[in-house]
Chains A and B, each alone.
Chain A
Amino acid sequence: MFGEYSLGELGSILVMQGFAGLILFSVFLLMALGLAIIFGQMGVINMAHGEFMILGAYMTYLCSHLFEAYLPSLYGGYFFAAMIIAFLAAGALGLLVEWALVRRLYARPLDTLLATWGLSLIMQQAFRSTFGAREVGVELPQWMMGSLNVTGSIEVQINGLFVMGLTLLITAAVAVLLFKSKWGLQVRAVVANRTMSGAVGIDTRRIDRLTFGLGCGIAGVAGSAFTMIGSTGPTAGQLYIVDTFLVVVFGGAQSLLGTVASALSISQSQSALEFFLTGSMAKVLTLLMVIGLLMLRPQGLFVLKVRR
């Protein structure tokens, strides 16, 4: 297949393909992180996750227009403001949803899954009514476009680097929050034993709400970041759901490390398969592999053995 290319060419493609895999990894991880936090805390999948991401994307779109109109001099930096606004907007909506919907369903995880699906329908139509049915184009500041020349033949995408950096930052922040902060301690306590945590004075409802809000907020940031690589439209959130859910489920509940490892393994295999097969077949094979592995390790790849 590659006989006609020089070794140097193949080498640089290999490097770039590795980089593409890393970008895919960052994308998967960023998509899945918010969901994983919620899944770990409540054991439930938020089916409106994709719509929270798109909310973040629309916030970015609005921001770019606001900056263009009122702060043209700061336009180059609008993206940072947009991410913060996306986080706040999606997080606030998440808090609201938790208060109005999810907290009533903690005893019924499958029902939460269904209720959040209903929510996703409503959010889609709300986007359509507000922003129109067409996709909107989110313009990026010039400095975020294009790629860096590492050597003559190796180029890396700036926005890919940006996504990787962002993913690293957010993952680290979540890890610090989970393992160093009081909130994280309480979250871990609630995950381990909800009743006991309540008994020792942890406000489990508050923890749930904050966790859900944080998860949705991270989804918003992810959505904001994905305006660089994907489309922004009322139904675009659906494009991400299967991948996201699989990453989270594959990683297993209650394990941040699991989510990271799962995103890494899925993205690497997909990226490698894509290079040798067509995109369609790579996707099918990746999904089937994940399903097959999940059957072997039903509780996810990276779950500790505990007494049930």
Chain B
Amino acid sequence: MAATRTDSRSLELIGFALIALLIMVVLPLMLDIFRLNLVGKYLTYAFVAVGLVLCWGHTGILSLGQGVFFGLGGYCMAAFLKLEASSVENTRIQSTPGIPDFMDWNQLTELPFFWVPFKSLPFALIAVVAVPAIAAFILGAAMFKRRVGGVYFAIITQALASVLTILIIGRQGYTGGINGITDLRTLLGWDIRTDNAKYILYFVCCFLLLGIMLLARFVLASKLGRILVATRDQEDRVRFSGYDVANFKIFVFCLASAMAAIGGAMFALQVGFMSPSFVGIVPSIEMVIFCAVGGRHSLVGAVVGTLVVNWGKTLFSESFPELWLFAMGGLFIAVVLAFPRGLAGLVTDQLIPRLPHWRGWTHRQPSPAPAE
């Protein structure tokens, strides 16, 4: 390992600053609002990828069902926006005015009880984080206390993604079904569809993402972060050091899920709808791909990976749609086989050691010496 940990810490700071510069300054200056809105959408996936860095990269828990939490967050947000868009005058033509259009089509004559609280924005915002976190807690507690892990955990989360998709599609009177919750318009009277609003939402999304990265950074830099790494490498030893490993896993899984959920909520705000196609197996695995490509150990890498893969997807599908799946599959295999540390690993392991000045540029800080 060429770079020491202190090197990689200062590297991470530099990377963090570069990312902030890129998404807050460079991209808004370079791109028109249409493309920028696209970037905003990609960044919502980066929330999931950052969460995956925590729970997969550092703790070794591979969840193939992060779409579930992304979706729950997105649906909570969309529920509020949809209720606001379904005011009585907007929905005069319905047989029951004042309820969302899809409920009317499904012969619901009043708002289901679990929709009612979503009329309140504070409730909706809390629910965005709380609902997925509670779901993750229940799942995590059941699994990690019983020491389910590895492939088993991956497959079970995948099956859950499948269950939730079937439920959302099947209970369309309550969920909007396969079409999802569409035509979201305003947030407390503020039209979220205008270019202006899209700019503002984009920056809100950036701020939140950077905030979440800082939070993740804080967690990873704390002793808890080291316990997570320790758990990944030697779970038994952590247990024999007196830690309740399951609690730490539950914590990080809930945290990652809450992050995914915030991403989902920002997605609903920026894209203007939410549908089950972001809940299922395929999007869940794609989000793992973003994280893997960027580097599963690196927060900055995860964001870059998300941007690169999505940018590639847009580019490829515009120019060579036939080749897209080949490229995506090939990229994925290449990353797993040749660069398991992803783009971030390429930078720290390959690029940096070759820069002649690097070693003089940062100096290793020794860990604290004992006070005499």
Q: A105-B337, A111-B340 are in contact. Are A245 and B166 (CB under 8 A)?
A: no
Is A81 part of the contact surface with B, judged by Cβ < 8 Å? no
Is B154 part of the contact surface with A, judged by Cβ < 8 Å? yes
Report the Cα distance A81→B159, complex, angstroms. 35
Set of chain A residues within 8 Å of B62, measured between Cβ atoms: 110, 113
The answer to whether A298 touches B147 (Cβ under 8 A) is yes
Is B146 part of the contact surface with A, judged by Cβ < 8 Å? yes
Set of chain A residues within 8 Å of B288, measured between Cβ atoms: 114
Q: A129-B322, A284-B167, A295-B146 are in contact. Are A118 and B331 (CB under 8 A)?
A: yes
> Which residues in window 186-206 of A have CB below 8 A to B?
none
Set of chain B residues within 8 Å of A245, measured between Cβ atoms: 155, 158-159
The answer to whether A118 touches B336 (Cβ under 8 A) is yes
> Which residues in window 138-168 of B have CB below 8 A to A?
142-143, 146-148, 150-152, 154-156, 158-160, 162-163, 166-167
Known: A120-B329, A121-B326, A242-B159. 8 other contacts (CB 8 A): A101-B337, A117-B285, A118-B330, A121-B332, A128-B325, A287-B159, A291-B159, A295-B142
Interface string of B303-329 (1 = CB under 8 A from A): 000000000000000000011111011
Is B170 part of the contact surface with A, judged by Cβ < 8 Å? yes
- List 7 A-B pairs, minimum CB-CB distance, nearest first: A118-B332, A121-B329, A125-B325, A122-B329, A298-B148, A118-B333, A115-B336
Nearest B residue to A129, CB-CB: B322
The answer to whether A110 touches B150 (Cβ under 8 A) is yes
> Which residues in window 287-308 of A have CB below 8 A to B?
287-288, 290-291, 294-296, 298-300
Is B292 part of the contact surface with A, judged by Cβ < 8 Å? yes
Nearest A residue to B162, CB-CB: A242
Nearest A residue to B325, CB-CB: A125
Is A249 part of the contact surface with B, judged by Cβ < 8 Å? yes
Report the Cα distance A114→B332, complex, angstroms. 8
The answer to whether B159 touches A111 (Cβ under 8 A) is no
How many B residues, CB 8 Å from partner?
Answer: 41
Is A184 part of the contact surface with B, judged by Cβ < 8 Å? no
The answer to whether B148 touches A295 (Cβ under 8 A) is yes
Report the Cα distance A249→B167, complex, angstroms. 23
The answer to whether B325 touches A124 (Cβ under 8 A) is yes
Sorting the interface of chain A by its residue count into under 10, 10 to 19, 20 to 34 or 35 or more gives 35 or more
B154 smallest CB distance to A (angstroms): 6
> Which of B155, B289, B331, B337 is close to A45, meaning CB atoms less than 8 Å apart?
B155
A233 smallest CB distance to B (angstroms): 14
The answer to whether A242 touches B158 (Cβ under 8 A) is yes
Set of chain B residues within 8 Å of A109, measured between Cβ atoms: 150-151
Chain A residues packing against B (C-beta within 8 Å): 39, 43-45, 101, 104-105, 108-111, 113-115, 117-122, 124-126, 128-129, 238, 241-242, 245-246, 249, 280-281, 283-284, 287-288, 290-291, 294-296, 298-300
Interface centre among A104, A115, A129 (most CB of B within 10 A): A115
Is B281 part of the contact surface with A, judged by Cβ < 8 Å? yes
9 contacts between A and B (CB under 8 A): A113-B151, A113-B154, A115-B332, A118-B332, A125-B329, A241-B281, A242-B158, A298-B147, A298-B152
Interface centre among B142, B325, B340 (most CB of A within 10 A): B325
Nearest A residue to B149, CB-CB: A298
The answer to whether B162 touches A287 (Cβ under 8 A) is yes
Q: A115-B337, A291-B160, A295-B142 are in contact. Are A122 and B166 (CB under 8 A)?
A: no
> Which of A45, A115, A280 is close to B166, meaning CB atoms less than 8 Å apart?
A280
Interface centre among B143, B158, B289 (most CB of A within 10 A): B158
Set of chain A residues within 8 Å of B146, measured between Cβ atoms: 295-296, 298
Report the Cα distance A245→B162, complex, angstroms. 12
Set of chain B residues within 8 Å of A105, measured between Cβ atoms: 336-337
Q: A122-B330, A291-B156, A291-B160 are in contact. Are A108 and B340 (CB under 8 A)?
A: yes
Set of chain A residues within 8 Å of B158, measured between Cβ atoms: 242, 245
Set of chain A residues within 8 Å of B323, measured between Cβ atoms: 125
Nearest B residue to A249, CB-CB: B155
The answer to whether A249 touches B156 (Cβ under 8 A) is yes
Set of chain B residues within 8 Å of A299, measured between Cβ atoms: 152
Set of chain B residues within 8 Å of A295, measured between Cβ atoms: 142-143, 146, 148
> Which of B148, B285, B336 is close to A111, meaning CB atoms less than 8 Å apart?
B336
Report the Cα distance A256→B166, complex, angstroms. 30
> Which residues in window 324-372 of B have CB below 8 A to A?
324-326, 328-333, 336-337, 340
